[in-house]
Amino acid sequence: MAKPDNRADNVEHLQNSIQDTLRNLDEAEDYLEEFSSEISSEKRSQIEDKNERRRESIKGFREEVKDEAAHSEE
């Protein structure tokens, strides 16, 4: 038998994911700033691409938080 859908802590999980992703984004940007002269342009491009995906993920997480908040009001 399937468990009922418990959405009570979804916003908390999403907020934790946002914080973790922001931390990773900041660390990657700090790394690029500190070591930009020591890494290849390919590696730099990979990190920049990954950071762009992180920004997109954060936008998605924030939309999900809004959605969850709307559902909790129903």
Q: HEC states along 42-62? A: HHHHHHHHHHHHHHHHHHHHH
With respect to residue 65, please indicate whether it lies within any of the assigned structural domains.
yes
pLDDT of residue 48 exceeding 80: yes
Report the alpha-carbon distance of residue 67 to residue 72 in Å, rounded. 9
Tell me, yes or no, whether 23 lies in a domain: yes
Domain that holds residue 46: 12-72
What is the tally of structural domains in the chain?
A: 1
Mean pLDDT throughout 41-68?
A: 96
**Does residue 5 fall inside a structural domain?**
no
Q: Is residue 52 part of a domain?
A: yes
Write the pLDDT tens digit of every residue in 11-34.
999 999 999 999 999 999 999 999
Domain presence at residue 54? yes
Query: What is the predicted pLDDT for the residue at 5?
Result: 64
Tell me, yes or no, whether 67 lies in a domain: yes
Q: Is the pTM of this model over 0.85?
A: no
